[in-house]
Structure 1
Amino acid sequence: MRTLRPLVFLLVAAIWGTGFAVTEVGLRWLPPALFAAFRFDLAAALLFALAVWRGNRLRPAGRREWWPIVTGGVLLIGVHHALLFAGQQYVPSAVAAVLLGLIPIVTPALTRLSTTRERLTPIGLLGVGLGFLGVVTIANPDPSNLVGSDLRGVALVLGSALAFAFGAVLTHDATATMPMLAEQAWMMLVGAVVLHATSALLPGESLSGVVWTSAGVFSIVYLAVVAGAAGFALYFWLLRRVGPVEVSLLEYVIPLFAAVVGWVALGEAIAPTTVAGFAIIFAGFVLVKRQSIRTGLREWRDRSITATQRAD
């Protein structure tokens, strides 16, 4: 089971990385918060249908099972996306990327406020810092944008990062007793309700402004089924097993996949700063995961020695 974790980590990063290119296409036809709400409407419907098909219990039993649904749905899905979309109206995307890169930095601090015992060593903290430096290098924000960005936008995007980190910590600390599909279907539904409420409050967002095109529908379906239902299912599976600090490192790996997909699918150029950022993030990731890497290499060496001895 432990050998699956690195693969699931990379798979989630790849899935959510492709989501940036698909989102860029969908936003040409749909207002952002309503776009996200539609995405999680469909994802919730799909997961509920799968839960019914599998015969899972659908009704949460008491406060204990409602807790992860509310924390995951409201914070990880609803508030995070709502604040992010609202904030991106006032700040450049590069500034938003830098602010979201704070998630792996604030998550270890938030774990100290909870019951979890997950901690990073000083070398691990150095790795997290290198990862953040790599994100800044990839984003390559204009210094004038960092200084002159609208404070409303900075506050909103920073709030989205804090909501995601805090939601991950609280959801991880909750005891999982409900069937996974049903629990995540409720999370998607709660998040969709928060996003619909946000859309109703944001100027310029209404159903009358929606232009239904094949590209827009494809974007909703892809983000609902692949990035939404599948991506979040894998994310919560990983969160339960490695904890909020390690899973927060996704924010450093996702930009790598997003840049590659943007280059392949949309013809976006990969700048030298992007390559340098990749190298810095990789170095930071190795520092954080050095124990797991050392263990994996030792197991691989032992298996190789055993196979050689059997062959002899």
Structure 2
Amino acid sequence: MKRASTVLFTALAPVSWGSTYAVTTEFMPADRPLFTGLMRALPAGVALLALTRVLPRGAWWWKAATLGALNIGAFFPLLFLSAYRLPGGMAAVVGSVGPLFVAGLAALLLGERPTPRTLLTGIAAAFGVSLVVLRAASALDLVGVLAALASTASMATGTVMTKRWGRPEGVGPLALTGWQLTAGGLLIAPVALLVEGAPPALDGRNIAGYVYMALANTAVAYWLWFRGIGRLTATQVTFLGPLSPLTAAVIGWAALGQALTPVQLVGMAIAFGATLAGQVRPRTSAAAPGVPRISSVERGIQRIRSRRRVGWPSA
């Protein structure tokens, strides 16, 4: 039950991110992806720093900056560039190829060797994505697709490195989230100023969109995401990613009038099935090369011996 609740809470993050595309196109100033990324990250990061009152120490200054660049500084501008150039649901579904990226990186950096089921599940998710994307091929923009793929690769790398480095002792996921959002926002700020110029004039609709993005869509959602990375495997977390395109497609259909064909619905069903399959842990994990497997009986004997060595009762 504890693991199931962790999965459900972590899943709220990609569900929230699924609204990013609709909010961007309907509430944000046109053609300002860098400024939009800045307004999403920096206010949320500063708010979390003020709330937690914890700063990085030692090596965590550069680690937080690196994670902030991967998860925020590069990811946000690329994400919003794709959101501006692609239909909402289409921009989001491209990101669901993330499990394949994470599976490869986790094998290299975490020793999480992908099982055949993991690879098949990742391929199924990508296949579901292709069914949705290919139905709207005429509406796709090459720059938007490349930006979506690049943002996915950046987020996948950040997810794996977050799992690899963990958190400093005594530091919770809320503080870690604040570090990354602040670092990422500070990286975006000078680029946004150089490329897009001075901030645009904002009306009430823009401000409402930015407040939602900074609080619910970023501060809360990323806290849930990094909390999940600390408690689940990197592969399990990233297989929740397809919930974002599913949510975006549903919002696009319900609120923006974007049509969904039967083939696209099949693709969404396959992607959702891959999300569920990605949460099923194998019954046994593969032993490292040269390390013999230990049976359940042997593990029981080892526990009894360990209890006797420390003076615990054997039953």
TM-score (norm: length of structure 2):
0.78
180, 186, 190: which one pairs with 2:183? 190
Kept in 1: contact 2:246–2:272 (CA 8 A): no
Q: 2:14 corresponds to which letter in structure 1?
A: A
Cα distance per residue 1:76-105 (max 9 Å; x no partner): 111112234456677777775464333211
256, 262, 268: which one pairs with 1:272? 262
Q: What is the aligned partner in structure 1 of residue 251 from structure 2?
A: 261
Q: 1:206 corresponds to which letter in structure 2?
A: G
Question: Could you tell me how far 1:174 is from its partner in structure 2?
Answer: 0.6
> Is the deviation greater in 226-235 or in 25-34?
25-34
Larger radius of gyration: 2
Q: What is the aligned partner in structure 1 of residue 161 from structure 2?
A: 170
Question: Could you tell me how far 1:261 is from its partner in structure 2?
Answer: 2.5
Q: Unaligned 5+ residue runs, structure 1?
A: 53-57, 294-312
Q: 2:272 corresponds to which letter in structure 1?
A: F
> Is the deviation greater in 162-171 or in 12-21?
12-21
Counting matched residue pairs gives 280
Kept in 1: contact 2:73–2:183 (CA 8 A): yes
Distance in 1, matches of 2:281 and 2:102, equals 20
Residue aligned with 1:102, SS? helix
Aligned-residue CA RMSD in angstroms? 2.8
Distance in 2, matches of 1:69 and 1:19, equals 24
Is residue 218 of structure 1 aligned with residue 205 of structure 2? no
Q: What is the aligned partner in structure 2 of residue 229 from structure 1?
A: 219
Q: What is the aligned partner in structure 1 of residue 232 from structure 2?
A: 242
Distance in 2, matches of 1:287 and 1:179, equals 29
Residue aligned with 1:255, SS? helix
Q: What is the aligned partner in structure 2 of residue 2 from structure 1?
A: 3
Cα distance per residue 1:233-290 (max 9 Å; x no partner): 0000011111322211233121111222333333444332332122211332343334
Q: What is the aligned partner in structure 2 of residue 33 from structure 1?
A: 34
Kept in 1: contact 2:67–2:162 (CA 8 A): yes
Larger proportion of helix: 1
Cα distance per residue 1:124-147 (max 9 Å; x no partner): 21111111111122233555677x
Distance in 1, matches of 2:259 and 2:144, equals 27
Identity percentage of aligned residues: 29
Kept in 2: contact 1:68–1:170 (CA 8 A): no
Q: 2:11 corresponds to which letter in structure 1?
A: L
Q: 1:105 corresponds to which letter in structure 2?
A: L
Alignment of 1:143-162 (within 5 A): 143=137, 150=142, 155-162=146-153
Distance in 1, matches of 2:265 and 2:244, equals 14
The runs of at least 4 consecutive aligned structure 1 residues that moved more than 4 Å come to 86-99, 141-146, 152-156
Distance in 2, matches of 1:281 and 1:104, equals 11
> Is the deviation greater in 136-145 or in 165-174?
136-145
